[in-house]
Amino acid sequence: MKHLPDWLKTIVFLTIATLCSLLFHLITNNTTNIAIVYMLSIVLITKYTEGYRYGIIGSVVGVIGVNYFFTFPYLELDFTRTGYPITFLGMLAISLITSTTVVNLQAHQRLNADAEKEKMRANLLRAISHDLRTPLTGMIGASATYIEMKDNLTEEEKDELILHIHEDSNWLLHMVENLLSVTRIHDNNTTVTKVSEPVEEVVSEAVMRLKKRYPSARILVKTPEEFLMVPMDATLIEQVMINLLENAYKYSKSKKPIELTVTTESNFVRFSIMDYGVGINKDMIYNFFDGYTVTRNSSSDSTRGMGIGLSICKTIIMAHGGVIEAGNHSNGACFTFTLPLE
Q: Is the pLDDT of residue 305 over 50?
A: no
Alpha-carbon distances of 165 from 15, 60, 154, 287, 328, rounded to whole Å: 70, 72, 17, 31, 34
Cα separation, 261 vs 156, in Å, equals 43
What is the residue-averaged pLDDT of the chain?
80
Report the chain's C-alpha Rg in angstroms: 29
Cα separation, 239 vs 179, in Å, equals 10
pTM > 0.85: no
Question: Which of 151-160, 218-227, 305-314 is the least confident region?
Answer: 305-314
Find, among 258, 260, 253, 293, the residue nearest to 275 by Cα. 258
pLDDT on residue 257: 94
Region 12-37: what's the mean pLDDT?
80
For residue 162, what are the contacts with CB-CB under 8 A and spacing of at least 6? 142, 146
Contact 229, 196 (CB under 8 A): yes
Cα separation, 237 vs 317, in Å, equals 8
> Which tens digits make up the pLDDT trace of 187-240?
545 667 889 999 999 999 999 988 888 889 999 999 998 999 999 988 889 989
Cα separation, 116 vs 206, in Å, equals 28
Region 280-307: what's the mean pLDDT?
56
pLDDT on residue 32: 67
pLDDT on residue 128: 67
Would you place residue 251 in the very low, low, confident or very high pLDDT band (cuts 50, 70, 90)? confident
Find, among 237, 246, 177, 174, the residue nearest to 202 by Cα. 237
For residue 289, the one-letter residue type is: F
Q: Which helix (H) or strand (E) holds 227?
A: none
Share of the chain above pLDDT 90, in %: 23
pLDDT on residue 293: 46
Find, among 40, 30, 84, the residue nearest to 62 by Cα. 40
pLDDT on residue 28: 72
> Which tens digits make up the pLDDT trace of 262-271?
999 889 999 9
> Which tens digits make up the pLDDT trace of 163-175?
889 888 877 877 7
Find, among 10, 15, 93, 94, the residue nearest to 53 by Cα. 10
Query: Which residues sit opposite 231 in a β-bridge?
Result: 196
The most confident of 56-65, 75-84, 197-206, 211-220, by mean pLDDT? 197-206
Share of the chain above pLDDT 70, in %: 81
Would you place residue 64 in the very low, low, confident or very high pLDDT band (cuts 50, 70, 90)? confident
